[in-house]
Amino acid sequence: MKKNIRFLLFFLVIGLLLSWPIHSLLTNLERPAEEKQLAALDDIAHQMLDAARKGDLESARQRVRMLAEQFPHLQLPETLRIESLNAVTQSILAARNGLNNTALDEQQLLEHATRVRVVIDALTHDHQPMWRGYYTSVSAQLQDLLESAVRRDYAHFREQYEENSRLYHVIRPAMTIHLPEQQLKKIDSAYDAISKEMRNSKIEWNQIRSALRELQTSMQEAFIGEDKSTIAYLISSESPFGLIFSIVAAVLMTLAYVAWKKYQGQFRTVS
């Protein structure tokens, strides 16, 4: 009996070790040409951002040129909206033009590369795209802005608002792929209201605070409201954990059956 259990446990471990590569292999074999092309594009965008972080401007330029050449020939998802398509295209073109600018500084380089990286990632990852990972930063910035507005600290507010606006414009193209147009309009409207108020000679801080609260609510809905649960992902066909759970369940059922048969044998012997 103990020998059988050790034998089954051995195959359980082997099955778990093999489940992930098997799942990856099957996923790649079943992946349509459209997804393979997008995956290749995603890899180029990753290389571009990596080069930008290292300060390798020439390598980043090469990658963005590759993106500009390959993207028009991709088979894109039929559900992609024209606005989203335009956002991707404009992000790539803006990066290509920006990286050719001799006056480009390090921050601008990173912003261009990050915008492209995040928007390409959004095309290839419906579940947990990269742009959702910026929620903590966006939320902290908005809270800081609200506190500055309460204190009426214009200098600090303006500095933080410009930083938050830059971050939003970096991730907005990616957001257009997953969010309804109306939801983005609510966010844009809040930013427009704040910007308009800041241009006035006399700022109405009550208006600023009101727009910020609306912006906080809209951002929370955008980042969290439509997010899928972890459990839903784990049991989906995209997750390798479904295969792992199946293997574990099969082995546990086998062990339970063997234990039951042993119990039945012992019970009959006693009888």
Amino acid identity, residue 160?
Q
Confidence class for position 235, pLDDT limits 50, 70, 90: very low
Tell me how far apart the alpha carbons of residues 260 and 271 are, in angstroms, rounded to a whole number: 16
Task: Answer whether residue 104 shows pLDDT above 60.
Answer: yes
Task: Answer whether residue 146 shows pLDDT above 70.
Answer: yes
C-beta separation of 59 from 51 below 8 A:
yes
- CA 113, 114, 120, 124 dihedral sign is positive
Task: Answer whether residue 129 shows pLDDT above 60.
Answer: yes
User: What angle, 0 to 180 degrees and rounded to 10, lies between the N-to-C axes of helices 154-178 and 181-198?
Assistant: 160
pLDDT higher at 37 or 95? 95
Cα Rg for the chain, rounded, in angstroms?
A: 26
Tell me how far apart the alpha carbons of residues 113 and 95 are, in angstroms, rounded to a whole number: 7
Average of per-residue pLDDT across 206-215: 97
Amino acid identity, residue 204?
E
Q: Among residues 179, 215, 222, which one has the least CA distance to residue 194?
A: 215
Share of the chain above pLDDT 90, in %: 61
pLDDT at 237: 46
Task: Answer whether residue 62 shows pLDDT above 60.
Answer: yes
Q: Among residues 3, 19, 5, which one has the least CA distance to residue 248?
A: 19
pLDDT at 68: 96
Task: Answer whether residue 181 shows pLDDT above 70.
Answer: yes
